[in-house]
Amino acid sequence: MRMILSRSEAETFEFARALAASLPLPAHVLLFGELGAGKTTFTKGLAAGFGLADVDDVSSPTFTLVNRYSGRTPIYHVDLYRIDAGDFCGLDLERIFDDPENVVVVEWAERLGDLTPPAPVRVKLTYVDSHSRRIEAASG
C-alpha cells in the first residue's frame, strides 16, 4: 500500500502521476472519497501519468457519466455519483473494463456494486482538515 498526506492539489496530482507510472495495462483505478476530497484532481494526475497532453481537458463527468481522453492509451473517466449502486445500464462498463489497452478511473466506485474490474487499484481520499487529505492506494 502507498500512502501520503497531501497538503495541496499539486501534491495530490503528483502522487497520482507517479502512481500511473507504476501501473500496468489494463489499469483500473477505483476512487473513494467524499465530495471535494480530490478525486478529480487525482484523475488529472493519473491522466498526466498516462500521457494526456492537456490535463485541463479532464473534468468530472458528473452529468455525462463517462469521459474518454486520448493519452498514449485510451483513458476512461467514469463518475457514478448520480447512479444508484449497480444501475449503470447503457454505460458499457464491462466492455471498457475488458479492453486490455484501457485505463479506467471510476469516481464513487462504491456504487459499482458487484461489478469489480480485474486487478483494481483502490484509492481512498480522506479529509484530514480543510487543506490536507490522506491518500491511500492499494492493489486488489
The pTM of this model reads: 0.91
Residues sharing a CB contact under 8 Å with residue 24, sequence separation 6 or more, in sequence order: none
Q: Please choose, from the candidates 119, 115, 127, 140, the residue with its C-alpha nearest in 3D space to the C-alpha of residue 35.
A: 127
Name the CATH topology of 12-90+102-125: Rossmann fold (3.40.50)
Domain boundaries, the chain: 12-90+102-125
What is the rounded distance in angstroms from the CA atom of residue 127 to the CA atom of residue 112? 23
In order along the chain (140 residues), what is the average pLDDT of each group of 10 residues? 94 96 94 93 95 87 81 90 67 86 93 87 95 93
What is the rounded distance in angstroms from the CA atom of residue 138 to the CA atom of residue 1? 5
Work out the burial of residue 140: count CB atoms within 10 Å of its CB; fewer than 13 is exposed, 13-18 middle, 19 or more buried: exposed
The pLDDT of residue 31 is: 97
**Amino acid, res. 46:** L
The pLDDT of residue 94 is: 85
